[in-house]
Structure 1
Amino acid sequence: MQYSWSAPTLPILLSKNAPIEVTTNQAEWLESILMIGACFGLPITMFLVDSIGRKKSLITSATTTMLAWIVIAVAPRVEYIFVARFFAGMAGDMAFVAAPMYIAEIADQKIRGFLSSLIYIMMLTGVLTMYCVAPFVPLWGPCLLGIVINCISLIVFPFQPDSPYYLLYKNEPEEAKAALRKLRSTDNVQEEFINISVAIERQKGEKGRFMDLFLISSNRKALVIMVILNSSQHLSSISVMLMNLHSILEEAGSFYVAASTGAIIFSATMIVSAMSASLAIDNFGRKVLLCCSGVVAGLSLMVMAVYFTLKNNGVDVLKASWLPLVMIILYAASFKFGIGLVPVVLTAELFPAKVKAFGMTISDLSYVGFSVITIEIYHSLRHAFGIQVPFYVFSVSCFLTVLFTILYIPETKGKTLEEIQMILKKTNSTVTENSKITQFDSTHSQVYRNEGFVEC
């Protein structure tokens, strides 16, 4: 909701009857200040997810966001909104790093992809909610809704268990076992507890410095995958679409639906697509969804580029003016089916515990950074060569993402987090139960005996 707040709200703030006086220059800053806050929040996020944990980081994020909504709702001047948006950006960054980590570490491997994909579904729900509510209510209306949502989170979430991985990483085995029992709704968690303990012990034996992201080959491969995937999301034009959809439809000359209606259809389509992908991701795999998504999104953008090329060269395209709207809807469906959803799943799966905070934060930085870069690419190429040129660029980016997926990204469907690390290290990912227990016994023999695992 914070991400999409500016699109329907800024026209209200720039109108004659605006509740707060805002200049055009200030309105532009209200858009960018959120992403600036996200950039400044990166080191704080990096520190908190490892020092206080994933769960407490999410609680901190929800609290900060709620306070930001309160300030926006009662702000007497635009400067107050600047501050609120800045801290909302920091909180959003923290949530987008901590939430995938938390979900990946509590979820059973069979449904980990589905649960991780819910993050983007909720993001899209926030976008659609803002598009549907903000144009028709006072400025404080969507703020009140945001406050209520965060209140619900702050009431319910503190009662949820913390990540067993994080608890074992902090040498709290009893708390980790209790969390596992609550998450699995059974007392029979010994085997999973052993597996997690072995994985944590192996990862603790590895170095956890920032430079190890680049010096260790498996970490470096994970980082390359996530930086390219996060960058490709924006190089596939999603930020351009979300922030310029009205002007794109108007320039296309589509007269079938109003631009505001097209925006609602666009966001609703993405939600339906993301829901479908969340159900398919653990059945068909991450690579299949990425490839299908990239091909269809690339073709959609290519058709739009050709349409604008013909239109700008004097060809009568009136009879085909429905085409851009259809292609934008097809793009929305295909993008969120893979490129726009799979990265948030992979980002929590690929990095080992010792450098997970570093890796996910840098991945998030590439996501934030390229959201700004692609907007600049779009406006620069559009003004210099015409609107068709950036669409050609974005289309080629989609096809390159497909090629990168096929050649470089491993399939993580159905794999434990430990098995994924073995794949990245190019070693045998199949570890027998006896070897796991033997390794666990050699490193935790006293705990092993005390907990009654000898018979197991």
Structure 2
Amino acid sequence: MGVMFSWPSSTLRLFESRNTTLHRPMTEGELALFGSLSSIGALISTPVAGMFLDRLGRKYSSIIFGLMAVISWVMIISCNRVEVLLTAIFVSGLSGAVFLVVPVFVSEICEESIRGAMTSGTMIFYGIGMLISYLLGGLLEYHMMTYVCLTLSVMVTVMLSFLKESAPCLLAKGMEEEARKSIAFYTQAKIDSKEVMEEMNILRRALQADLDTPDATPEEEKLKPLDKPKEKLSTYQFIKRSRSTRQALLMCFVIMTAAIFQGLVVIQVYAEPLFEEAIPNMSATVCSVLMAVVTIVAGLLAAYLTEVAGRRPLMIYGSIASGLTCVLLGTQIHFHWGPNWVTAVVIYLFAIMYSLGAGTVPYVLAAEVFLPEVKSFVTMLVVEWAWLCNSVILFIFNPLLHAIGLGPVFYIFAVVCFLTALYCIVYMPETKGLAVDAIQTLFIKRRKGREY
């Protein structure tokens, strides 16, 4: 997905030139659509993915949205009309639902001790996709690049077919035997082993969480009979009765909003003119590749630190560091207190700090803090909200830029960064290595005395 979402950056000038590979050059309006249709597609597909996760399961949802990328590349290769290309970009955007599907899937098939690192892999591999796109765009001829991208999309979709559905999803549907097979598959254990049986018991307890006694500890939950009859609740009824779910959802909304309005998406959109000012002798392609490499390395470090340092410290200190780099970048652009290369260095520093905190932690939290009964739906709400926030910040940036200038815009981003850190200090619990039922109790404790 990272390949397709960043593909316009390497083809924009080609499509607007007289030497375009299309049947005619794109107009300004079409170029604007070319850059935004993928986000519109993701905005539409995310609610659909929320329904698919429960009805079709995590595995088949991944395959379906992976096929969207395959279809889009086939359309691009088979026809050179502008209208078909724009339609293909929209179809590729439908695969943006993987930002919802993949973290949910991964969080359910990996062990709690590595859940944060594995879930953050979504953003790491998105960055790798961007890097591949930048490299292919700079090294390969247009048609060769499209065939390589189609091959990559087909390979990923085929490999997904060899995975098994997640055990929580199967158990929620009453498929206990298949759930045991899934656990055995991902843990490389025998289906009747003690390890598999213990994991099944943990999943049953999570699925049978008692909403009427939300203050119960995980130890008290273990003493309850696993075969207790359970009232079947709709998603709305579950959220209404579960105070901890509502608290977790509110926290995810606030942190996701704050993370996006810290401004990295603006840096990504306007990186080229900033780099042209900072390092005029270096090509835009090289600068873009370096930006992608920095993001990937920072993402890998974040994946490691989420399990070593924890989610909360990363979010707090990452936001503070991002705020400081925004202040430096804003003053450099506003007052030009340093050489031009300082701008490039601070941009890279901001990308690193953001990736360590706000670029990773919100997605990890969204995938791990909700109970299985409502996980698909509420995670869909969080991801959909993220797409909306992305659209808003990109929509208001240009008017804001013309009104106050680029430097002061980064002062606003700095304020958001510092407010994010303050919110996390007061309201965000540490979820590292905890089962979902234990995580839910943290949100109850926060309300009673903020014991975490």
Provide the TM-score with structure 2 as the length reference: 0.88
Alpha-carbon distance in structure 2 between the residues aligned to 1:77 and 1:66: 18
Q: What is aligned with 1:449?
A: none
Q: Is the 8 A contact 1:219 1:351 kept in 2?
A: yes
1:207 and 2:226 aligned:
no
Deviations 1:115-147 (A, max 9, x none): 111111100001111111113433333332222
Query: Counterparts in 2 of 1:74-223, with a 5 A limit?
Result: 74-93=78-97, 95-187=98-190, 188=193, 189-202=196-209, 205=231, 207-210=233-236, 212-213=238-239, 216-223=242-249
Which amino acid letter does the alignment assign opposite residue 61 of structure 2? S
- 1:3-402 matches, within 5 Å, as 3-20=5-22, 21=24, 22-93=26-97, 95-187=98-190, 188=193, 189-202=196-209, 205=231, 207-210=233-236, 212-213=238-239, 216-250=242-276, 252-255=277-280, 257-311=282-336, 317=337, 320-402=339-421
Matching residue's letter, 2:167: P
Alpha-carbon spacing, 1:379–1:171, altered in 2? closer, same or farther (3 Å): same
Residues 390-429 of structure 1: pairs in structure 2 closer than 5 A? 390-426=409-445
Q: Report the 3-state secondary structure (helix = DSSP H, G, I; strand = E; otherwise coil) of the residue aligned with 2:113.
A: coil
CA distance in 2, matches of 1:306, 1:347: 34
Give 3-state SS (helix, strand or coil) of 2:445's partner. Answer: coil
Q: Confirm or deny: 8 A CA contact 2:75 2:88 kept in the other structure.
A: yes
CA shift, 1:205, in A, is 4.6
Contact 2:138 2:285 in 1 (8 A): no
User: Contact conserved, 2:330 with 2:410, CA < 8 A, in 1?
Assistant: yes
* Contact kept in structure 1, 2:127 and 2:295, CA below 8 Å: yes
Instruction: Tell me the percent identity.
Output: 26
**Does the 8 A contact of 1:7 with 1:243 survive in 2?**
no
Question: Deviations for 1:38-61, whole angstroms, at most 9, x for unmatched residues?
Answer: 122133112111100011100111
Local SS of the residue matching 2:161: helix
> Cα deviations across residues 206-242 of structure 1 (Å, max 9, x unaligned)?
7342475466422222222222222223211121111
Q: Once the 2 structures are TM-superposed, how far is the Cα of residue 274 of structure 1 from its aligned partner?
A: 0.6
Separation in 2 of the partners of 1:225 and 1:206? 26
Cα pair 2:46 2:100 within 8 Å, conserved:
no
Number of corresponding residues: 420
Structure 2 stretches lacking a partner, 5+ long? 211-229, 447-452
Question: In 2, Cα distance between the equivalents of 1:74 and 1:390?
Answer: 43
Give distance in 2, aligned partners of 1:359 and 1:154: 26
Distance 1:396 1:107 in 2: 36
What SS is found at the alignment partner of 1:101?
helix
Q: Distance in 2 between matches of 1:144 and 1:403?
A: 48
**Secondary structure in structure 2 of the residue aligned to 1:159:** coil
Distance 1:256 1:66 in 2: 37
Contact preservation (8 Å) 2:258, 2:420: yes
Structure 1 residue 295: Cα displacement: 1.4
Cα 1:10–1:210 shift into 2, 3 Å: farther
Q: CA deviation at 1:86?
A: 1.5
d(CA) in 1 for partners of 2:87, 2:40: 11
Instruction: Name the SS of the counterpart of 1:177 in structure 2.
Output: helix
Give, in whole Å, the separation in 2 of the partners of 1:272 and 1:186: 33
Counterpart CA distance in 1 for 2:159 and 2:45 is: 25
TM-score, normalisation: structure 1: 0.88
RMSD: 2.0
Partner deviation per Cα, 1:81-116 (whole Å, 9 max, x = no partner): 2221212112222x1111111111111101111111
Instruction: Report the 3-state secondary structure (helix = DSSP H, G, I; strand = E; otherwise coil) of the residue aligned with 2:395.
Output: helix
CA apart distance, 1:24: 1.6
C-alpha distance in 2 between matches for 1:404 and 1:360 = 21
Deviations 1:265-304 (A, max 9, x none): 1111010111111112111100111122111111111111
Corresponding residue SS for 1:354: coil
Distance 1:70 1:181, change over 3 A: same
Q: 1:335 Cα deviation (Å)? A: 1.1
**Shift of residue 380 of structure 1?**
1.3
DSSP 3-state at the match of 1:134: helix
- Per-residue deviation, residues 6-48 of structure 1 (Å, max 9, x unmatched): 1111111111200112112101101111111112213311211
Q: Following the alignment from structure 1 to structure 2, what is the Cα–Cα distance between the partners of residues 336 and 69?
A: 29
Per the TM alignment, residue 422 of structure 1 is displaced from its structure 2 partner at its CA by 2.3
Check whether the contact 2:278–2:342 (CA below 8 A) recurs between aligned residues. no
- Separation in structure 2 between the aligned mates of residue 242 and residue 208 of structure 1, nearest angstrom: 41
Stretch moving more, 350-359 or 257-266: 257-266
The amino acid across from 2:365 in the alignment is: L
Which range moved further: 69-78 or 175-184?
69-78
Q: Which moved more, 1:129-138 or 1:263-272?
A: 129-138
- Between stretches 118-127 and 257-266, larger displacement belongs to 257-266
